[in-house]
Chain A
Amino acid sequence: MKKVIVIGGGAAGMQAALRLRARGVEPLVVERETETGGKLRGWHVLFPSFTPAGELLSELRRRVRESGIEVLTGATVTAIAPRRVTLSDGRCLACDAVVLATGFTLFDARIKEEYGYGIYDNVVTSADLERMFAQGRVAKADGTAPRRIAFLHCVGSRDEKVCQQHCSRVCCITGVKQAMELRRMFPAADVFNFYMDMRMFGPGYEELYREAQQRCNIHFVRGRISEASPTIDGRLQIKAEDTLTGRPLRMSVDMLVLLVGMRANDDNAALAASAGLARSASGFMAPRDLFLGRVSAPVEGIFYAGTVTAPKTLGETLDEATAAADAAAEYLKA
């Protein structure tokens, strides 16, 4: 039986492995962490349906387990080639093809110093907030309930100052989803979303945005927050332009949520160099063709699944993992 190494045991990696197995190929999932799941771990519910992330994760894990797919955890890949994968401990694993499903790196909000993440209490990222939701407790650092919350879209996205020219795509809808969850949790709280554009591209997204506006009274202000600073009572003062009225706007809030974007995986540069692969300007892996070769690397025998090539939603990632596995299976048949 032909063997394919799938690098990365997140949603893309697991789905690709399942499809390979269904196509009669032997997959080996190599995962850096001690368990599978990738970024799906620690996420609470998924947009736009509020489906618990745990449901999707345990279903994927159950399928992987029941299919008898071999998973190598705690293994970091340092170099790839179509028929060989090298690990950080020096081991070389032989194979017939490789599916790269290493995902993205979360933008480090500390780089946008003006928002004071890591310096001021109650400045959190969307990932932090999701963890709080998962733990069932959202509160200010002093344990009290926030009365006014601001979300800032596009932190580490569409920002040339931090070398992130691209749109991370999922943050807009995540901001809408999380704002709605906070309104449900704190009915008396005011929630403001500061955005540059609302990019509601997916099925059900625009409907959710409308619900957030009309039913949840979430205030959407078109303008990017320029800075956050502390107030004497331990809150945060934020400044923005309300661009639709053409006037500067400021207010104090109890909590500032930074919707952090997807950055190209930190490992992309080294892996691309090891196999002679091209990367796009933003650092994501560049597929062979933007229309007819979206899941293939320019090098024969290497395939891409999920956010290793660009920011994607979970649905898109799962579809692409299937496509990548199919492409690999076809390649091995030839």
Chain B
Amino acid sequence: MARRASWNEYQKQIADDRYYYGRSCIRQNFFPGSEKAFIDILHNDLGRDLLDDPKHSSCTGIGYHSDIVPLETIMTVVARQFSLMNEAGYENFVTSCITSFGVYTEVLATWAEFPETEERTREYLMKATGREFRKPASMAHTSDVMFHFREAIAAKARYRLVNAQTGEPLKVVEHIGCHYAKIFPKSGIGGSEFPYVLAGMVESWGGECVDYPERRHCCGFGFRNYLVQANRGYSIANSHKKLESMAPYKPDFIVANCPGCAMFLDKWQYTIAEMEGTTYGDNGRGIPVLTYEEMAGLVLGYDPWALGMQMHQVDVEPLLDKMGIEYDPAAKYLGANGKYIGKPGAALVNNCAADSVYNIKE
């Protein structure tokens, strides 16, 4: 992206080590290898300390944004996570989910602006659990952490985001979850208009970002807007708008830092193809959609099936081939123990016939 130096004006403190990890509720379903990859990369490739604490709970963000969970409740849940972090001896909170990140930054900002709400939260937490809490020394999204280590990862890269045949940089669409920096621009690397958190990784690892007209547009997730079927028409229309806008640039893949966005941009391609017959990638296929952990994992030479990429709606093989990644095509649907896990039926988005249906158990 041309002359995009303004990100330098938005800097945030990202801790260098000793993280307390907050998981996402939905990522395990859609991109099941991503969170494991994050932990593995931090532990094994970067030698950092990160605690994956089974005691922490959902942040209840989906319920909060769907008007089910009240503000006082979510504040208390957040306070409990902080208390667990204190108890474990950590002070740098990192969260895997953009919704959670938005919730944590919003709650911290609310406590700072209205100290009485923090006091009330302390009372609620004490009444409900008998716990106290200290606020974290730093709050970051896991994509911030990956951004922080992007050069260290580049130094260990086994593959780069370049076309192995031509040597050309891959063209990448980076999509940032709305609640990463649209709530508080200063809480995101690069702010809200020109976020650099994913672009920085892409550029460090050899790729090139595409700045297309609807780059800043929301994917349309919006919680109640897609949870309620009657609203799904305008929810999907947002992803549709983005895909229409990016397709002329012929991106090699999309990378997102938000659980909902990555899922939407991947799965809606299937829906749009089956509804209208439209596909957006080259050769009539869909555009592969990656999480940033998967992108980092591929760069570091992780096996794509160990990264969980067989669970994507849009097949990732064309991208793996472009990058010259060695993988076993036959092992795609073999689980960790070598057992066949079933496979999806053919779909238009993967260049297959339109009358396909899912057949999970063959």
Contacts and interface: CB of A to CB of B under 8 A. Distances in A.
Task: Determine direct contact between A and B, CB below 8 Å.
Answer: yes
Interface of A: 110, 113-114, 118-120, 227, 229-232, 237
A227 B3 contact: no
Contact of B211 (A110, A118, A229): A229
A227 to B, nearest CB: 6
Given A118-B3, A232-B248, A113 B216 contact: no
Contacts of B213: 229-231, 237
A322 to B, nearest CB: 43
Interface string B206-234: 00000111111000000000000000000
Interface residues of B, number: 16
Interface of chain A, helix or strand or loop or mixed?
Answer: mixed
B211 A113 contact: no
Nearest to A114: B193
Give 4 closest A-B pairs by Cβ, nearest first: A113-B193, A237-B213, A229-B213, A232-B248
B191 interface: yes
B212 A113 contact: no
Contacts, number: 32
9 contacts: A113-B6, A113-B193, A114-B216, A118-B3, A118-B6, A227-B193, A229-B216, A232-B212, A232-B249
Contacts of B4: 119
A230 B210 CA distance: 10
Contacts of B192: 113
Nearest to B211: A230
B357 interface: no
A114 to B, nearest CB: 5
B194 interface: yes
B142 to A, nearest CB: 25
Given A114-B216, A118-B3, A118-B6, 18 more contacts: A110-B6, A113-B193, A113-B194, A119-B3, A119-B4, A227-B193, A227-B216, A229-B212, A229-B215, A229-B216, A230-B211, A230-B212, A230-B213, A231-B213, A232-B212, A232-B248, A232-B249, A237-B213
A241 to B, nearest CB: 16
B263 to A, nearest CB: 24
Interface of B: 2-4, 6, 191-194, 211-216, 248-249
Contacts of B2: 119-120
A218 B191 CA distance: 35
Nearest to B215: A229
B282 to A, nearest CB: 15
Contact of B191 (A113, A119, A229): A113
A12 to B, nearest CB: 34
A227 B213 CA distance: 10
Nearest to B185: A113
A229 to B, nearest CB: 5
Contacts of B211: 229-230
Contacts of A120: 2
A229 B248 CA distance: 15
Nearest to B246: A232
B174 to A, nearest CB: 14
Contacts of A231: 213
A1 B6 CA distance: 54
Contacts of A119: 2-4, 6, 194
B284 to A, nearest CB: 20
Nearest to A228: B213
Contact of A229 (B3, B6, B214, B249): B214
Nearest to A238: B213
B160 to A, nearest CB: 25
Contacts of A230: 211-213
A229 B1 CA distance: 12
A231 B248 CA distance: 10
Contacts of A113: 6, 191-194
A304 to B, nearest CB: 34
Contacts of B215: 229
Contacts of B214: 229
Nearest to A227: B216
A234 to B, nearest CB: 11
A113 B191 CA distance: 9
Contacts of B194: 113, 119
Contacts of B6: 110, 113, 118-119
A142 to B, nearest CB: 14
B99 to A, nearest CB: 23
Contacts of A118: 3, 6
A231 B244 CA distance: 12
Nearest to B248: A232
A242 B192 CA distance: 24
Contacts of A227: 193, 216
Nearest to A119: B3
Nearest to A250: B213
A205 to B, nearest CB: 34
A248 to B, nearest CB: 12
Nearest to A229: B213
A194 to B, nearest CB: 17
B267 to A, nearest CB: 25
A58 B213 CA distance: 46
A243 B252 CA distance: 39
Nearest to A113: B193
A232 B215 CA distance: 12
A114 B194 CA distance: 8
A102 to B, nearest CB: 27
Nearest to A226: B216
Nearest to B192: A113
A237 B214 CA distance: 9
A227 B194 CA distance: 12
A110 B191 CA distance: 13
Identify which of A110, A120, A232 gathers the most chain B CB atoms within 10 Å of its CB: A232
Contacts of A114: 193, 216
B199 to A, nearest CB: 13
B42 to A, nearest CB: 32
B171 to A, nearest CB: 12
A114 B217 CA distance: 12
